[in-house]
Amino acid sequence: METAPQQMDLVMQRRLDRETTARKEAERLLETKSSELYFLNKRLENQRDRLDVLHTEMTDSLAYSKRIQQSLLPRFGIQSAAIKDHFIFYKPKDIVSGDFYWQYNDDENQRLIVATADCTGHGVPGAFMSIIGKQGLDLAVIQNNQFSPAEILHNLNNHLGTFLQKELNKHITDGMDISIYCIDYSNPQEKILTYSGALNSIYIARNEELIEMKADRITLGYDFGKKDTPFTDQQISLKTGDNIYSYTDGYQDQFGGPMGKKLKKIQLKKTILANHQLQMSKQLDAFHDLIDEWTGDLEQVDDMCIIGVQVN
């Protein structure tokens, strides 16, 4: 018969055996989990490296797309004997933009055409639309010799419908808002501006006065029929020193300020009136300063484009 001390030793030995077994099992489980965690980390590292590669490829592709898009914009801005100076405020939301501007100067007939457009969407989809729009303007003006802004808009609208095959794809709603004006400077005594717009108005600043030429309440990209244009031409006689401003809605629609609200068109008009007698470079600085201060830490919500020209 075992004595009491022997029984005590046996109990302690059994307890020690159980603890040793439990410790070994825990060590085995820990080793298994460590191995699983190692391979999981390796998988995550591989996925991260793959995402880095994809991000770099995408960024490089967008950067190249940006160079292509910028090559389609007027290389030297707005150039014509009709104007003395100009500025271009161009601020895409993303790397590429759905806003674009276009100009054509006909030296022989002494006419300057300027277009400022806001395509559906921004980023890559908007950039694709801007290329289609630029092509349509080239065809209407350079190839088809159209100088009526209303007829140019009509031609551009038909081009969009044909290019996007809207007769077959009724669900496609892509289009653009755009302003087009033509300055006829063939008469040294009087320059005539003819304007037409699809939702995008223009302003003429003259001696502390702001003249708004309002757009037709129609956007490009819909089936209006092939023959008759729904757009209208408006004309005004220009004076030396007049400033003409065309723009897209991204600037006035930017959220910010103390209440996080939209800037609104009224602030755009105030900025034009407050600065229109300054040099064009100073006006450009004023537009940059206002939108930077207004936006603050908030995200830019849309592409922005403002074109200002001073009549010679």
Predicted confidence (pLDDT) per residue in 108-134, tens digit: 999 999 999 999 877 787 888 888 999
Output the pLDDT for position 52: 75
**Average confidence (pLDDT) over 87-92:** 96
Task: Please check whether residues 238 and 287 belong to one and the same domain.
Answer: yes
Which residue among 14, 45, 72 closes a domain?
A: 72
Output the pLDDT for position 274: 96
Higher pLDDT, 10 or 208: 208
Higher pLDDT, 311 or 128: 311
Task: Please check whether residues 176 and 91 belong to one and the same domain.
Answer: yes
Task: Please check whether residues 49 and 193 belong to one and the same domain.
Answer: no
Determine the residue type at 172. I
Output the pLDDT for position 239: 95
Higher pLDDT, 123 or 281: 281
Output the pLDDT for position 281: 97
Does residue 205 surpass a pLDDT of 80?
A: yes
Does residue 89 surpass a pLDDT of 80?
A: yes
Output the pLDDT for position 168: 52
Identify the CATH number of the domain in which residue 161 sits: 3.60.40.10
Higher pLDDT, 128 or 135: 135
Is residue 202 within 8 Å of residue 195, measured between CB atoms?
yes
- For the ranges 128-142, 158-172, 184-198, 284-298, the lowest mean pLDDT is seen at 158-172
**Average confidence (pLDDT) over 279-299:** 96
For residue 271, CA distances in Å to 231, 268, 287, 310 come to 29, 5, 7, 16
For strands 304-311 and 83-91, give the pairing.
antiparallel
Task: Please check whether residues 277 and 181 belong to one and the same domain.
Answer: yes
H or E segment and range at residue 111: strand 111-119
Nearest residue to 243 via CA among 185, 286, 283: 283
Task: Please check whether residues 182 and 268 belong to one and the same domain.
Answer: yes
Q: Provide the whole-model pTM.
A: 0.81
Residue 260 structural domain = 75-311
Task: Please check whether residues 128 and 259 belong to one and the same domain.
Answer: yes
The residues, any chain, with a CB within 8 Å of residue 116's CB and separated by 6 or more, are: 99, 101, 178, 179, 200, 246, 247, 248, 305, 306, 307
- For the ranges 7-11, 40-44, 83-87, the lowest mean pLDDT is seen at 7-11
Output the pLDDT for position 14: 75
Task: Please check whether residues 250 and 300 belong to one and the same domain.
Answer: yes
**Average confidence (pLDDT) over 253-272:** 95
Which residue among 72, 90, 109 closes a domain?
A: 72
Return the SS3 of 116: strand
Which residue among 72, 101, 128 closes a domain?
A: 72
Task: Please check whether residues 39 and 175 belong to one and the same domain.
Answer: no
Output the pLDDT for position 268: 96
In the DSSP assignment, the letter for residue 160 is: H
Q: How many domains does the chain have?
A: 2
- Can you state the percent helix, strand and coil of the chain, rounding each to 5? 40, 25, 35
**Per-residue 3-state assignment (H helix, E strand, C coil) for 233-252:** CEEEEECCCCEEEEECCCCC
Does residue 2 surpass a pLDDT of 90?
A: no
Does residue 162 surpass a pLDDT of 90?
A: no
**Average confidence (pLDDT) over 285-293:** 97
Task: Please check whether residues 97 and 244 belong to one and the same domain.
Answer: yes
Is residue 178 within 8 Å of residue 152, measured between CB atoms?
no
Task: Please check whether residues 87 and 155 belong to one and the same domain.
Answer: yes
- For the ranges 59-73, 100-114, 175-189, the lowest mean pLDDT is seen at 59-73
Q: How confident is the model at residue 88 (pLDDT cuts 50, 70, 90)?
A: very high
Output the pLDDT for position 185: 97
Angle at 107 between CA 102 and CA 112, to 5 degrees: 35
Mean pLDDT, the chain, integer: 87
Task: Please check whether residues 119 and 211 belong to one and the same domain.
Answer: yes
Output the pLDDT for position 6: 62
Determine the residue type at 198. A
Does residue 161 surpass a pLDDT of 60?
A: yes
Distance of CA 255 to the CA centre of its chain: 15
Task: Please check whether residues 223 and 172 belong to one and the same domain.
Answer: yes
Distance between CA 253 and CA 261 in Å, rounded?
Answer: 9
